[in-house]
Chain A
């Protein structure tokens, strides 16, 4: 199941983070990359297999303070709009 799969570009930050968290927890995977799909208004997430349980994910506007450890900074579609965000791993 691991690999690169599309994710809706219409989600809020909270729901995108929840979608990625659910994926990691349920599919025994870990998000390694997140970006926009250059061909469509949607995002692409890349995952690898991960046997150990990881903390949840949180997404906030780039530069905003958040709990956890920042995994990556990227540009994604949030509610259909390109947005610069930071992805955090919660403890």
Chain B
């Protein structure tokens, strides 16, 4: 049982009094009544949440399987703490709302630590509570009637549940991912500027690769052997390590990786170009 009890019958009586004040155009009294109702519900929700948070931390730590943890975590707070009229009313207020929350993937829950979930619930509750208190303080019953406040209180209640925390974390993760993606995009290194001479070197190297590839692909034993010898010379002259017993195809792959390495490295481009030209001149 929550330490602060606000029964449904007491709530009904308060709401009836609020509506009577509205009917009598006693708007200031109605505002006071509205605020009292909301404050009492918030106190009830806070009491339930405190018990829920403690329950979550202790029970989840003791659970042996992820399935058990998911079963616990995806239950609304109302199912974990003692029965309460107000919580029952809040739970029943918006079934559709709850359904949305429950659509969260159980695996996502299992990936989150209890600390991260509690932290998110506390943050969400704090934000919503600040909004509610501000509205109660600044707005009359015309612009912020009890019905509107009730909707905010329901949101406040659900902010203290695991499904809500998971949705908020997922949303935040999505937002962070967009920012991270933008940061990554900004951080992507620009292409290494090239000169016409370097472009010619790249074409020369690549042309040699194509010729060697064609010779090896032909399957002609003499051509393959000659290509292998050429590749070995190029790699040796470029001081690129390779297995002396490797096949022609394997050496061609080593050559290809060496070519790719020249894309962003002027020194490697220069070295490989010199190695290719030295073999071609022999």
Contacts and interface: CB of A to CB of B under 8 A. Distances in A.
Contacts of A11: 193
Contacts of B259: 26, 28
A32 interface: no
- What's the interface size class on A, roughly? 20 to 34
Interface string A1-22: 1000111100100110111111
Contact of A21 (B194, B209, B256, B260): B194
Contacts of B191: 5-8, 19-20, 23, 45
B262 interface: yes
B20 interface: no
B260 A18 contact: no
Contacts, number: 77
Name, among B189, B192, B269, the residue most crowded by chain A CB atoms within 10 Å (CB to CB).
B192
B193 A26 contact: no
Given A23-B263, A26-B262, A27-B263, A53 B207 contact: yes
Given A7-B191, A21-B199, A45-B191, A1 B207 contact: no
B202 A26 contact: yes
B195 interface: yes
A25 B202 contact: yes
Contact of A25 (B193, B195, B196, B203): B203
Contact of B199 (A7, A8, A25, A28): A25
Q: Is the interface of B mostly helix, strand, loop or mixed?
A: helix
A42 B190 contact: yes
Given A8-B193, A27-B263, A22 B207 contact: no
Nearest to A42: B190
B198 interface: yes
Contacts of B198: 18, 22
Given A14-B196, A18-B195, A18-B198, A25 B206 contact: yes
Contacts of A14: 196
A63 B261 CA distance: 36
B137 to A, nearest CB: 43
A11 B207 CA distance: 26
A34 B76 CA distance: 52
B205 interface: yes
A18 to B, nearest CB: 4
A56 B199 contact: yes
Contact of A19 (B193, B205, B206, B262): B193
Given A26-B259, A26-B269, A56 B203 contact: yes
Interface string B236-262: 000000000000000000001001101
B275 to A, nearest CB: 15
A20 B256 CA distance: 19
A53 B210 contact: yes
A68 to B, nearest CB: 14
Which 5 A-B residue pairings sit nearest by Cβ, starting from the closest? A25-B202, A18-B199, A22-B194, A26-B263, A21-B199
28 contacts: A1-B260, A5-B188, A5-B191, A6-B190, A6-B191, A7-B190, A11-B193, A15-B194, A15-B196, A19-B193, A19-B199, A20-B194, A21-B194, A21-B199, A22-B192, A22-B194, A22-B199, A22-B263, A25-B202, A25-B205, A26-B205, A26-B259, A26-B260, A26-B263, A27-B263, A39-B186, A53-B206, A56-B203
